[in-house]
Copies of this chain bind each other. A is one copy, B any other.
Amino acid sequence: MPGHPQAEDTEPAEATPLHVRMRGDIVSGALPAGSRLKTQDLARRYDVSINPVREALHQLSGEGFVILSRNRGARVRMLDEAFVRNIFDIRALIEPYLIRLFVGHASREEIARMVAIQEEIEALDGPDQVRLDVLDDAFHQVTYGNHFNSEALAIRERHGQVVHALALRYPASPARRRAQNEEHRRIIAAIAAADENAAAAVVEEHARGAERHLLEQLRRDRANG
């Protein structure tokens, strides 16, 4: 008799842990920043019991996405300008650090892969922000993915999710796209030239550029309402 169940691809949602789904809803704005998170509402929303909800809330509290106050429940972490500035300040420290290891260790194949990804990015002219994010992730994954410092990678990953969600809400302008492409090209050039300092400088500039863009959009959004 067939022991392996195959009717599961109809419900692959069960595979992703609850706190991951909730985190997605937080960064996507489905659970608005600052809003109250009541266990029973969430239990209904995700069709689970309140026990898993409580555990997910504690997990997200540890990760910093949720603020727990004793006997007063949970609220979604505020994603305001100050928060964006904070995480980009940290990105601007960590990304140059991460790339320094890659420079000098980069193989021909890896550099070729970066070039290929970058060409695909530049070939995209439509407003497919999701595809752009995937490619951008792949690009940086080549440079950071093999770094030994899993702590730093975890921090960058956490912050990256927030940045991703904001990028979805505020797509890059054509001007920003051009700047991004130029920065990517300069990153590749610095790596090919095995110039650590140049690579670190460009990567920092890359992060600062993204920060500037997002802050402008946030401010405009706040001004309009």
Are A64's CB and B17's CB within 8 A?
Answer: no
Complex alpha-carbon distance, A62 and B85, angstroms: 22
CB distance from A169 to the nearest CB of B (A): 20
Are B152's CB and A155's CB within 8 A?
Answer: no
Instruction: Choose among B51, B59, B82 the residue that contacts A62 (Cβ–Cβ < 8 A).
Output: B59
CB distance from A88 to the nearest CB of B (A): 10
Residues of B within 8 A of A61 (CB): 59, 62
What is the copy number of this chain in the assembly?
Answer: 2
Question: Is A138 part of the contact surface with B, judged by Cβ < 8 Å?
Answer: no
Complex alpha-carbon distance, A67 and B133, angstroms: 29
How does the 8 Å CB contact mask read for A1-21 relative to B, with 1 for contact and 0 for none? 000000000000000010100
Are B97's CB and A93's CB within 8 A?
Answer: yes
Complex alpha-carbon distance, A86 and B148, angstroms: 8
Instruction: Choose among B56, B58, B60, B149 the residue that contacts A86 (Cβ–Cβ < 8 A).
Output: B149
Are B151's CB and A70's CB within 8 A?
Answer: no
Complex alpha-carbon distance, A206 and B152, angstroms: 20
Subset of 10 A-B contacts with CB under 8 Å: A58-B58, A62-B62, A62-B63, A63-B63, A83-B151, A86-B150, A89-B149, A89-B152, A90-B149, A90-B152
Spell out A's residues near B (CB within 8 Å): 17, 19, 51, 54-56, 58-64, 70, 82-83, 85-87, 89-90, 93-94, 97, 148-152, 154-155
